């Protein structure tokens, strides 16, 4: 191969890489949602009309960040580091705010019981981020394996980065206690169940025993939903925020989420809301061929 040909091949590859990087979205919502045009009502952010979330498998996307995470021997707290390709850890001032927080940690318990928690680790000076389970999650926790997903934005570039890892917790011999929700997810309906379709997922909510429920903002939104599938067959997750449809502030509120449906399977749908205090509700979503 001549030097001239090598030059043009290298130049062509560089140009392709340059424009591929330029095409990447530069904000959190533009990555987690396509065509991001947020609607802000009373300081609460809703997704725009044409937005939909996607189901991501961070490892397959090969983000330039590695998640190191571990639990303390007590099993009720832990720490993580977000490691760049050069081996350095992200520090507090190098991470931007996204939905009022620096780092969003999604933890799914894989054994012992069905459970999920959304945490926001606190930064230490050395690039370690510490987190603690609330009592309602740690009490009666049998331990076991966890799947961890993290999303955060680089302060300098503004780009969202995703990472995932597994971690282990000491197991106990006691009877497992699954965290219970105060409020109720009355129903979940989806406009389609077919993989690849753009679907609207609508959930109806109520307070305890059917009582009235007034949703309050949590992390700048009226709800944060996460979809997680069987880790062996459909590894990954989708992180969704509601669209504005008009039923969000009723006595029996409803929330709508737009999602490009992933591969066929049965998925866990977790919804984090606030009635003055954080609450996590659960349902399942079936996707067909």
200-240 confidence digits (pLDDT tens): 999 999 999 999 999 999 998 999 999 999 877 778 999 99
- Token pair of 196, please? 């690849």
pLDDT, position 43: 79
Look at residue 99 and tell me if it is in a domain.
Answer: yes
* 281 pLDDT more than 50: yes
**pTM for this predicted structure:** 0.84
Q: 90 and 145: one domain?
A: yes
176-207 confidence digits (pLDDT tens): 899 999 999 999 999 999 999 999 999 999 99
Question: Which has the closest alpha carbon to 267: 163, 161, 116?
Answer: 116
Question: Which has the closest alpha carbon to 140: 173, 188, 116, 107?
Answer: 173
Separation between Cα atoms, residue 60 and residue 77, nearest integer Å = 28
DSSP reduced 3-state for 237: strand
pLDDT, position 18: 39
Q: Which residue range(s) make up the domain with 252? A: 184-287
Separation between Cα atoms, residue 288 and residue 127, nearest integer Å = 42
Burial track 227-236 (b if 16+ CB lie within 10 A, e otherwise): bbbeeeebbb
- Token pair of 20, please? 């591929």
Look at residue 116 and tell me if it is in a domain.
Answer: yes
DSSP reduced 3-state for 45: strand
Is residue 160 within 8 Å of residue 32, measured between CB atoms?
yes
Last residue of a domain, one of 169, 204, 220: 169
Q: 72 and 163: one domain?
A: yes
Separation between Cα atoms, residue 162 and residue 61, nearest integer Å = 9
Most confident of 22-26, 109-113, 163-167: 163-167
Q: 261 and 196: one domain?
A: yes
* 58 pLDDT more than 80: yes
2-45 confidence digits (pLDDT tens): 666 665 666 665 554 434 433 444 344 555 554 556 788 877 87
Q: 127 and 93: one domain?
A: yes
């Amino acid at each position: 191969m001549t030097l001239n040909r090598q030059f043009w091949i290298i130049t062509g590859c560089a140009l392709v890489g340059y424009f591929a990087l330029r095409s990447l979205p530069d904000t959190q919502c533009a990555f987690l949602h396509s065509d991001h045009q947020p609607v802000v009502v009373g300081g609460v952010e809703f997704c725009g009309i044409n937005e939909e979330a996607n189901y991501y498998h961070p490892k397959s996307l090969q983000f330039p960040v590695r998640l190191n995470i571990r639990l303390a021997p007590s099993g009720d707290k832990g720490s993580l580091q977000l490691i760049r390709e050069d081996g350095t850890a992200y520090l507090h001032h190098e991470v931007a705010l996204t939905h009022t927080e620096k780092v969003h940690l999604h933890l799914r318990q894989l054994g012992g019981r069905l459970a999920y928690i959304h945490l926001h680790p606190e930064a230490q000076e050395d690039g370690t981020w510490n987190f603690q389970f609330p009592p309602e999650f740690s009490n009666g926790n049998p331990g076991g394996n966890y799947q961890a997903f993290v999303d955060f934005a680089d302060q300098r570039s503004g780009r969202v980065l995703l990472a995932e890892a597994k971690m282990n917790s000491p197991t106990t011999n006691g009877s497992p206690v699954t965290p219970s929700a105060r409020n109720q997810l009355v129903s979940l309906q989806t406009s389609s169940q077919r993989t690849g379709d753009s679907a609207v997922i609508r959930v109806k909510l109520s307070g305890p025993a059917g009582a009235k429920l007034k949703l309050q903002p949590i992390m700048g939104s009226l709800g944060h939903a996460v979809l997680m599938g069987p880790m062996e067959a459909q590894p990954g997750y989708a992180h969704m925020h509601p669209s504005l449809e008009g039923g969000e502030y009723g006595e029996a509120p409803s929330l709508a989420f737009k999602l490009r449906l992933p591969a066929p399977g049965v998925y866990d749908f977790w919804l984090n809301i606030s009635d003055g205090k954080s609450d996590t509700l659960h349902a399942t979503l079936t996707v067909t061929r």
